[in-house]
Chain A
Amino acid sequence: MDAVLILLLFVLVLSIFLGVELISKVPSILHTPLMSGANAISGITIVGAILTSRAENIESELSFALGMVAVFFATVNVVGGYLVTNRMLGMFKKK
């Protein structure tokens, strides 16, 4: 258990550094699409939401119900986020 946790913390630290490196070069004209695109990625919590319908969660009705509401919200976040970003980026044209 602890080994897994340490490994995940390791992943976390590296991801933060990677994120900083990736984003710091984005030109300001793309700030809005970047933000809404990143927001869609934060909808990854949908994976956690789906996993709340594992066998052990279903035994607790409340736990299961909360998870399913989470599926709804995360899906709005993911689908809406990617679509609206795509729509916005479609408008950025060069003549």
Chain B
Amino acid sequence: MSSTDHTGDLSAAHAGAAHAALPRLEHHFDSYEQQRETASLGMWLFIGQEMLFFGGLFTAYIIFRHLFPDAFAAASHHLDIRLGSFNTVVLIGSSLTMALAVRAAQLGRQKVCGWFLIATMVLGVTFLGVKAIEYHAKYVENHIPGVTQFHWEENFHGKQIPQNQARIFYGLYFAMTGLHALHMIVGIGILLWLLYWVRRGRFTPDNYNYVEGVGLYWHFVDIIWIFLFPLLYLIGRH
């Protein structure tokens, strides 16, 4: 995934000659097609890695939800379902604009691509902003483990919910949404970098690997949220 050319690189001396007419084709590839398929494969492997990374969190979630079903339902009631739903719509919307950005890059319409990237970033920032509002509410309620003195007192459907069980729910809530938000922040950073290259006209229908790769990453982050939303916000709402 190199972004520079290889003029200063002796190793390109042999291969470079054959590629002189093909800009942005790295020296160790024979064709744009090989380069694109390799980049896509690498990105998919990275996503496979990410799945297992979040997998550890989901394992913990399943175990503790199984152990403390009432506490999870009670604690979930303190999350704002309207903000959660709004954010789900925003994030899926950003996936749409990202997909359209990739499509524009495939067609070589760099200007359109750039605008869709900006739209994606705006939606991403909106999501993070809403998340910040939610986090602030939890801060005020003293529901963030380890940050303020965790406080919980509640009867839920006539059952006393122990403070520590609610604490575990919020521990997982902040670990999961925090890590998800971190992925979004990184994603927005990468989108900015991508926008820079789009503005400089770097991509062609032959070579838009970066746009495609970032798109895959963004969609993956969206998928994580698709699972997080019902698991965290929608427990025992009836």
Real complex partners, A and B? no
Name A's B-contacting residues (CB within 8 A). Answer: none
Chain B interface (Cβ < 8 Å from any Cβ of A): none
